[in-house]
Chains A and B, each alone.
Chain A
Amino acid sequence: MPSAGQPHPRLSVTPAACTAIKRLRAARGGPVMFVQSGGCCAGSTPMCFPHGEFLTGPGDVLLGEIQGCPFYIDSALDRAWNHPELVLDVADGDPEGFSLGAGPGRHFVTLSPSGPDGPPCRASGVCVGQPAASG
């Protein structure tokens, strides 16, 4: 498994999301990618696709990589949201749009460390490159 290098300061991942990504990678035999969405029904949800499925362009900002899986946000959305940092997590419920799930009946979500969950998100630790055995 390739190492993605140093942790990116703008993206961190909860252990649950780490585990889900690890399982997705194993099940699919390769990495996935994340693209933060906005607007309408599933807006504010990160969409998870097979790696390379979504064409990114110069207007997309790479927030970080988790186990070789990049996470992008549109630069205009990034400016409007003004989130200094995002946390990738999982929650109950099926994925929306064309997104892959985070396991049966689970989907990926993005949180903000300054959000309602506050410090626990920030304390969840950055998981970049090789995940810990526990996920």
Chain B
Amino acid sequence: MRYVPPGQPGSIVSVDPRYENYIGGKWLAPTEGKYRVNLSPATAKPICEVAESTPGDVELALDAAHAAKDEWGDRSGAERARVLNAIADAIDENREMLAVTESWENGKPVRETLAADIPLAADHFRYFAAAARAEQGSISEIDKDLVAYHFREPLGVVGQIIPFNFPLLMAAWKLAPALAAGNCSVLKPASPTPWSILKLMSVLEDIVPPGVINVVTGPGGQIGKALAANPRIAKVAFTGETVTGRLIMQYAAQNLIPVTLELGGKSPNVFFSDVMAADDEFLDKAIEGLVLYAFNKGEVCTCPSRALIQADIYDEFMSRCLDRIQAIRQGDPLDTVTMLGPQNSAQQLEKIASYVGIGREEGAEVLIGGRRASIGGEFADGYFYEPTVLRGHNKMRVFQEEIFGPVLAVTTFTDEAEALAIANDTLYGLGAGVWTRDGDRAYRMGRAIKAGRVWTNCYHQYPAGAAFGGYKISGVGRENHKMMLEHYSQTKNLLVSYSTKPLGLF
């Protein structure tokens, strides 16, 4: 099935010519009246205009959030949960509309947004609705008459800055725990993908109290600092690259506020010989597990972009993987048979082409792909790149640098020790995959790999309830788990004496 592109006759997605910021429950024009064109990466043609905001707009959003925070923070867990569940229901009711919107703006195939991004976003709100209701403080009986009560209290207003690769799911990952813990948010979408979130807000405007979620669009160079360094935020959360992560931490240090950072990776995906011990469903799953490097066009911080394959199965295993890669259907992201859509922007496409060139220069062997894909027709100008596999060794730059595209770097290892050494030979530590039929080895490897998430006999699953975040320079803090409520709240201790006796010191 092929969905009609947004804005065209018969499409399930309506498009306004222009979108404003969503502040205090209203659509507010940017104070300086500037707009920018928002492109679809599939065609390189405009979808709509969005506000090109300035620091004054960030201040308006903070005004609205501060006006709302006391009332929202005072609501009971049950009342907040009711709103979060209503958000989830609205996302589910608009699943196809939001899926098509996000696919058209980001380029990711609609089969992924229908099956993963949108349902996961809804589920994320439900998970934190449940967590909000189940949240409880604690009591410590210090002695017979002295009792310490611990309450969780909201931080107030938080700043959240999200990336372009999962516009709606990353918004959900950030917003759900913040709201569940009783905070109000000022959210800055990524510059290339603001529209999906504005469409989401259009279905949530009667559900979320004014000022609880505020969305300000525009380039990070203009409004990023205005939000992240603002003394009126009590926490900042960011997903993106390392230098901006450091800059945000620097701003947070100046305001003495906490941060959550998720900063990318170069994730190893390790395949031991025994995956080929039988030609069965598990082997089929493992082959798909390697090909998942092409999921979301490789624009995933946890992209399994380094495949480490035990040498004695390399030829046969890789041959079967290449057959599967050859069968990837690339093209219109709104066609449900499409597996690989366009990269998000011309910049990303250029970067990928550059890295593949670097790989060739340093002697990597191109096993498949290695060039811009020609789709033709209305997609002739889209940012498509062929799914690519480079064979080389782990010291090559294509094994060390995050390419953020459908480019797999593959190498071999002889034993478990070497597999572990290669897996950990990276600056990053966000994700990893281990594939083996040997449970003991899976456990050893999983514990020894220095990464926050080790998928074991699976990859690219992101269920709410499984903590996600980075080791090493891949980030600070965790997402996707009820422990996030701690990240988004502060502890109030009441230390209460039930004794009438003075201390006797004065």
Contacts and interface: CB of A to CB of B under 8 A. Distances in A.
Given A44-B402, A92-B346, A39 B358 contact: no
A55 interface: yes
B503 interface: no
Contacts of B474: 39
Interface residues of B, number: 54
A38 B350 contact: no
A134 interface: no
A99 B357 CA distance: 26
Given A82-B397, A97-B244, A98-B225, A43 B402 contact: yes
Interface string A54-76: 11000000000000000000101
A100 B428 CA distance: 26
B345 A97 contact: no
Given A97-B243, A99-B220, A101-B221, A116 B354 contact: yes
Contacts of A94: 191-192, 219, 347
Contacts of A118: 361
A40 interface: yes
Contacts of A81: 397, 400-401
B246 A54 contact: yes
A38 B402 contact: yes
Interface stretch (A2-10, A13-21, A106-114, A125-133): A106-114
A47 B250 CA distance: 15
A41 B242 contact: no
Contacts of A30: none
Contacts of B191: 94, 96
A96 B221 CA distance: 8
B239 A40 contact: yes
Contacts of B309: none
Which of B164, B221, B299 is the most central at the interface, judged by chain A CB atoms within 10 Å of its CB? B221
Contact of A41 (B246, B299, B395, B426): B299
A40 to B, nearest CB: 3
Nearest to A91: B350
B241 A38 contact: yes
A55 B247 CA distance: 8
A85 B356 CA distance: 19
B243 A47 contact: yes
A107 B192 CA distance: 14
B165 A74 contact: no
A95 B219 contact: yes
Interface in B277-325: 299, 301
Contacts, number: 151
B88 interface: no
Contacts of A82: 395, 397
A29 to B, nearest CB: 17
A58 B473 CA distance: 17
Interface in B231-254: 239-244, 246-247, 250
Interface in B171-229: 190-192, 219-221, 224-225, 228
A101 B347 CA distance: 13
A39 B347 contact: no
Nearest to A76: B427
A37 interface: yes
B121 to A, nearest CB: 19
A39 B351 contact: no
A104 B337 CA distance: 38
A36 interface: yes
A45 interface: yes
Contacts of B264: 38-41, 43
A93 interface: yes
11 contacts: A38-B243, A39-B264, A41-B165, A44-B401, A45-B241, A53-B247, A55-B250, A76-B473, A80-B400, A96-B240, A116-B360
Interface of A: 35-45, 47, 49, 53-55, 74, 76-77, 80-83, 91-101, 107, 109, 111-112, 114-118
10 nearest CB pairs, A to B: A116-B357, A39-B264, A40-B264, A37-B243, A93-B347, A98-B224, A97-B244, A98-B220, A43-B241, A40-B241
Given A42-B241, A95-B219, 19 more contacts: A37-B244, A38-B401, A38-B402, A39-B301, A39-B427, A39-B428, A41-B190, A41-B240, A45-B351, A54-B243, A55-B250, A81-B401, A92-B350, A94-B219, A97-B240, A97-B247, A107-B347, A115-B361, A117-B357
